[in-house]
Structure 1
Amino acid sequence: MIKRVTLYLASAALLLGTASCGPGDSIEQAAAQSVEQFEAAGMQGMKNDALFIAEATSANMLQVQLSDLALEKAVGPEVKEMAQEMGQGHRRLMEDLQNTAVQGEFVVPNELGSSDQKVYDEVSGQTGIGFDLSYIKRTREEHQTLLKRYEDMAENAKVMEVKQFASKQLPLLRQHLQMAEALEDRLGDI
């Protein structure tokens, strides 16, 4: 019992302290901390699940931040409409993800991973119609990647809660991908 409480407190401390862990990518740090605590508890083979939870957290933070940015900077009403829907969907997804992470005692990053930060910086540096097109393109590309990763985890996650979380999110990710593709097709001729 004491070991479990100690592990829980250590998990909470790691969860809160991930962003201040020194140099390196926040996704890799969070995944490594998760694996370390699982191995200390005698659980092996958790790297893929831990990495997925960390990647998904960063990716969803990115989608929320990009949608907020698009609501502020986009010039096209259809782009703002897409951003509104993306933001709402990814906020709900993030709540589910946080519950899954807490339940499974995974450590999550508190800031974007380096590759997600690059995407944000790239899109946020655009203005006008260039911003709209960049936002739509990157949203489509990110959702293609997310969809593949979630499909893989729905099949191959070791932890049942992770498998269920990934499976539950697939319809939303497919809907978001289709929305971005359709808008990119409509605006692609500009």
Structure 2
Amino acid sequence: MKRTLLSMAVAALMATTACSTNDSTTGTTDATSAPANDAMGTTNTDSAGANTNTAMPTDTSMAGGSTMADPNGPTAPHATDAEFMKSAAASDQNEIQLSKLALEKGVTGMVKDHANMMITDHTKSTADLKTIAEKKNVTLPADMDAEHKAIAADMRKLSGKEFETKYVQQMKMDHQKTLNTLAAAQQMTKDTEVQGFIAKVTPVVESHLKMFSSM
């Protein structure tokens, strides 16, 4: 009888020890198997346990401004209103003089129509800007900038379709740059007259850019 009771006690003790060991093992496994959360509370892992999260792309779009202005364009804001006005006047002369050269080269059809439009619209733009500049004692340039003088010299060597293609491409690039300049100056200037000028000419420049981009 005593031997039977002793055997039962030993069996119960072994069973209790086994349960305690299993619980400890399970708790350790659960603690180490759960992945650590990242800063956003989510972590993705592959079959090898490596973190497969990728960074979310950063939105670098420009808020406000012209819908066609290129935020990555080459033109930075001018430091003063006087610098902007001189730059805008030179841009007008670039388009006017290159368009006059296009007419001299005998362009035809839509290219001829566009060249005449450039001369008319940019001459008007210069007149509007000159009125503001005179009030502020700013002398505007009456000729192309050095870069476009060199471009014009190269274009004079071309003719026919080759010239027309170069002219259209140059007009597209110039108007994109001008649009960038206008958008930057709009953010920079505090002068209401300059702001009014920019608001007036921006839609015109946008229409020119669309026109040349569609050719």
Relative to the length of structure 2, the TM-score reads: 0.60
C-alpha deviations, 1:31-63, integer Å up to 9, x for none? xxxxxxxxxxxxxxx943121111111110111
Percentage identity across paired residues of the two chains: 27
C-alpha deviations, 1:130-178, integer Å up to 9, x for none? 1100100000000000001011212221322222211210000000001
Note if contact 2:86-2:139 (Cα within 8 Å) is conserved in structure 1: yes
The answer for the alignment partner of 1:6 in structure 2 is none
Which residue of 73, 80, 105 maps to 2:112? 80
- Letter of the 1:53 counterpart: M
Note if contact 2:94-2:143 (Cα within 8 Å) is conserved in structure 1: no
Q: Does 2:207 correspond to 1:175? A: yes
The answer for the alignment partner of 1:121 in structure 2 is 153
Q: 1:122 to 1:49 in 2, by over 3 A?
A: farther
Q: 1:100 to 1:124 in 2, by over 3 A?
A: farther
Aligned residues: 138
Cα drift, residue 72 of structure 1: 2.2
**Which of 1 and 2 has greater Rg?**
2
CA-atom RMSD in angstroms: 1.7
Cα drift, residue 104 of structure 1: 2.1
Note if contact 2:94-2:145 (Cα within 8 Å) is conserved in structure 1: no
Which residue of 134, 143, 153 maps to 1:111? 143
Give, in whole Å, the separation in 2 of the partners of 1:59 and 1:50.
Answer: 14
The gaps in structure 2 that reach 5 residues or longer are 1-77
- Secondary structure in 1 aligned to 2:141? coil
Give, in whole Å, the separation in 1 of the partners of 2:156 and 2:88.
Answer: 21
Note if contact 2:99-2:115 (Cα within 8 Å) is conserved in structure 1: yes
| Pairing of 1:80-99 with structure 2 (within 5 A) | 80-99=112-131
Give, in whole Å, the separation in 1 of the partners of 2:194 and 2:151.
Answer: 26
Note if contact 1:104-1:161 (Cα within 8 Å) is conserved in structure 2: no
The answer for the alignment partner of 2:167 in structure 1 is 135
Relative to the length of structure 1, the TM-score reads: 0.67
Cα drift, residue 107 of structure 1: 2.1
Note if contact 2:99-2:116 (Cα within 8 Å) is conserved in structure 1: yes
The answer for the alignment partner of 1:43 in structure 2 is none
The answer for the alignment partner of 1:68 in structure 2 is 100
